[in-house]
């Protein structure tokens, strides 16, 4: 299963905020580091703000920061919120299913189980689990981000 770019950028943003909790971070900081369109990242941050995960501070010295503690941000819930669907095959979408095998197909239930197992693993994770183990609770020691070449 492949995550959408929106979810990928959401997770990257949260990781960056998680390791830089001692300061306000700008959207431009994250956009530059990950070579992501600033406009696309603004949509991600807007959604995170609506979800109550990120707090934005306006003004000249503004930026963004986590609004909740990393251990309160569940990755499974976040992925469910940012993904548009979990259709593993055409047959999962009742409105657009034209597969002639659907009535007798046994694969759909197995793929459904696999999706649930995938989400169950993510449900066990919080943002804190994805941050470096040696990072202090205040986020003062960032992980090393490698910019794209």
Look up the domain containing 121 and give its range.
5-130
More confident residue, 122 or 113: 122
Does residue 104 belong to any structural domain of this protein?
Answer: yes
User: What is the average per-residue pLDDT within 25-52?
Assistant: 94
pLDDT of residue 10: 96
Please count the other Cβ atoms lying within 10 Å of the Cβ belonging to residue 41.
Answer: 20
Average pLDDT over residues 18-30: 92
Residue 81 located in a structural domain:
yes
Backbone angles phi, psi at 44, to 5 degrees: -60, -50
Report whether 104 contacts 97 (CB < 8 A).
no
Tell me how many domains the chain contains: 1
Asked whether residue 138 is domain-assigned, the answer is no
What is the value of pTM for the model shown? 0.81
Pairing status of strand 54-57 against strand 63-66: antiparallel
Q: What are phi and psi of 107, to 5 degrees?
A: -70, -35
Distance CA 17, CA 33 (A): 13
Q: Considering the domain boundaries, does residue 135 fall inside one?
A: no
Give me the pLDDT at residue 67, please: 96
Whether the predicted pLDDT of 86 surpasses 80: no
CATH number, position 35: 1.10.10.10
Domain membership of residue 143 (yes or no) is no
For residues 10-19, give the mean pLDDT: 94
Quick one: how many helices (H) and strands (E) in the chain? 6, 2
Q: Is residue 142 part of a domain?
A: no
Q: Quick check: is 144 in a domain?
A: no
In a domain, 145, yes or no: no
């Amino acid at each position: 299963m492949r995550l959408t770019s929106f979810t990928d950028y959401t997770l990257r943003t949260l990781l960056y905020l998680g390791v830089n909790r001692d300061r306000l971070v700008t959207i431009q900081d994250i956009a530059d580091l990950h070579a992501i369109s600033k406009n696309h990242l603004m949509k991600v941050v807007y959604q995170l703000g609506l979800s109550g995960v990120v707090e934005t501070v306006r003004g000249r010295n503004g930026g963004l920061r986590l609004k909740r503690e990393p251990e309160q941000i569940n990755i499974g819930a976040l992925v469910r919120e940012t993904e548009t669907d979990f259709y593993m095959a055409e047959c999962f979408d009742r409105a657009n299913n034209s597969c002639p095998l659907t009535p007798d197909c046994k694969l759909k239930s197995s793929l459904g189980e696999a999706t649930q197992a995938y989400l169950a693993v993510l449900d066990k994770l919080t943002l804190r689990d994805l941050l470096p183990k040696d990072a202090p609770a205040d986020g003062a020691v960032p992980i090393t981000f490698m910019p794209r070449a």
